[in-house]
Amino acid sequence: MTESELIHNNPWNPASRWGGWSWSEPRHDEFFRRCSFCGSIHPEDLAAEPASSGSCLICGKVGWSACFNRFDREAEDEHSYTTDGWYASWADFKYGWPHKFYIEALKPHDPDVLSVLSATSSVKNINQDNRWVLIEDLTPEQKRIIEISGWGRSRETDYVAFQFWHRPNCFAKFYTEHLKDPNISQEAKDTIERVSGLHFEWLEDGRVAWSKYQVH
């Protein structure tokens, strides 16, 4: 078995069934590579980004839940959990183990890059809203962004207008299976486990064990 076959080799849906997997190049409005099979951010790219210290920069509570559930909050003190870096938001254990987390507060390297926010196929949705750009009014740059973002794969008649924005955060997820990739540095793996709070062990019989991350 090759190193790449160690990842996504579940017998019920192996990547090899679809021609294998690889790391795709960053999209125009993202700085990181993604797994062509599961869409996971590359571990090295994630580990290189500033990680959250855990404390909310506004109220000082540690962790999203503590910030959200703080008992001493007052109406005028309402705020969202604001951190100094990315943090992990675990998905439910759909397959019986912590296989995936969503990455929150991952900042784009270039906040001025324009992205597609939304598209509509009905003119009813664009009345009284000047944020929409009609198909016939798209600039060459906007058309290029639509195409390279994947929206261009649809028929042009599918949409009558688009919305654009400068995204404040990148949307990314991480599949923990990539932590067993021998091509990923141990330093990157340790960083991801430390920030996410869980340590993983890949057993010889194919199973995976996990425990609370302990500082070395």
Inside any domain, residue 63: no
Do residues 104 and 38 both lie within one domain? yes
Range of the domain at 157: 115-165
Inside any domain, residue 68: no
How many domains does the chain divide into? 2
**How many whole angstroms separate alpha carbon 133 and alpha carbon 129?**
10
Do residues 130 and 25 both lie within one domain? no
Do residues 104 and 141 both lie within one domain? no
Whether 33 has a pLDDT exceeding 80, the answer reads yes
Do residues 153 and 195 both lie within one domain? no
Do residues 46 and 99 both lie within one domain? yes
Question: Which tops the pLDDT comparison, 142 or 205?
Answer: 142
Contact 51, 86 (CB under 8 A): yes
Do residues 160 and 174 both lie within one domain? no
Question: Which tops the pLDDT comparison, 68 or 172?
Answer: 172
Whether 37 has a pLDDT exceeding 70, the answer reads yes
Do residues 184 and 101 both lie within one domain? yes
Q: What is the mean pLDDT of the chain?
A: 88
Do residues 199 and 99 both lie within one domain? yes
Mean predicted confidence (pLDDT) in 136-142: 93
Do residues 119 and 161 both lie within one domain? yes
Tokens representing residue 32 in the block:
């990181």
Inside any domain, residue 180: yes
Inside any domain, residue 40: yes
Whether 3 has a pLDDT exceeding 90, the answer reads no
pLDDT band per the 50, 70, 90 thresholds, residue 73: low
Do residues 97 and 131 both lie within one domain? no
Q: What is the pTM of this model?
A: 0.85
Inside any domain, residue 45: yes
Do residues 198 and 123 both lie within one domain? no
Do residues 122 and 160 both lie within one domain? yes
Inside any domain, residue 66: no
- Span 82-116, pLDDT tens digits: 899 999 999 988 888 999 999 999 999 999 999 99
Inside any domain, residue 75: no
Mean predicted confidence (pLDDT) in 75-81: 74
